[in-house]
Amino acid sequence: MKKIWDFCGDIKVNFWLILAISLNLAVGAYFIKFNSKLFVPLNHSLVQNWFIQYGQDHIGQSWWLVLLFFLAFFLGINTFVCAVKRIAQLWPQRKQSGFRVFSVKIAPSLIHLCFLIILAGHFFSLVAVPERSIPVQLNQKIILSEGNSLEVISQQVERYTTPAAFEGAVRQCSVTVKIQSPQKSEIKVLRVLRPIYWQGMSIHLDVFTKKDSQKTAAPPELKLIIKKDPGIAVVIVCFAILCLLMFWYFPQRKKT
């Protein structure tokens, strides 16, 4: 057990894992570029559902994604063991070092633990957060959850008028919706890249422009992406803590 623990906490293992993940992502980028239709559904599916429906039938193109999860899992173990070993080594010295010096020494380990929690939050979002993709239709009523509902009131498509090269191309799309709960209702405007957050849910507007859409007045296809993602809150909070720790650590390190 001690040999396994020491191996998992070896900094050399960390280096090789990061190198392997970098190479794996480069391979993945190649497969995604030349097999985009296979991977597009992954944007709106849980990873395991996507693999069952698409990935297992195209294992020659999807193997890298399975390997990526294994490598990230072992990177998480390695990060955790390295941080714990470092904290265990420094903890007995806390009284002799003093609070300030001890805090500076232990800060990198806390940063690594924040990074680990961020990885866990992303993993949770990929495998456990449901997502609904619904085509936009006027006056349609969508049942959300816990007595909440959404109704599409209107939609608008803005197109470029200048310069001439972009004339007629879609500039922005928006949808006016009425969100209602048992207590109240609100009118909100949803735009591409400007989601609505409501009762722990995020509602996004996605647009699918057809080929040669610039030459036709037909509106693009719009879809509502509705999901409830507790993992993103973990990621944002821990990322903020990680940034604060780093902003504090480097100036203090120079003084120590």
Write the CB contacts of 76 (distance below 8 Å, at least 6 apart in sequence).
Answer: 116, 119, 120
Helix (H, G, I), strand (E, B) or coil at 132: strand
Helix (H, G, I), strand (E, B) or coil at 88: helix
Cβ atoms 207, 174 nearer than 8 A: no
| Backbone φ, ψ for residue 199 (5° rounding) | 50, 40
Please give the pLDDT value at position 40: 86
Please give the pLDDT value at position 217: 63
Please give the pLDDT value at position 182: 81
163 upstream amide cis, omega within 30 of 0: yes
Helix (H) or strand (E) holding 11, with range, is helix 11-34
How far apart CA 213 and CA 230 sit, in angstroms, is 37
Residue whose structure tokens are 């990177």? 75
Helix (H, G, I), strand (E, B) or coil at 209: coil
Please give the pLDDT value at position 106: 92
Provide block-wise average pLDDT over 10 residues at a time, the chain (256 residues).
86 93 95 90 86 91 93 93 91 86 91 92 86 86 83 89 83 90 87 86 80 60 86 90 92 79
How far apart CA 174 and CA 168 sit, in angstroms, is 17
Please give the pLDDT value at position 210: 55
Tell me the two tokens of residue 252: 């203090």
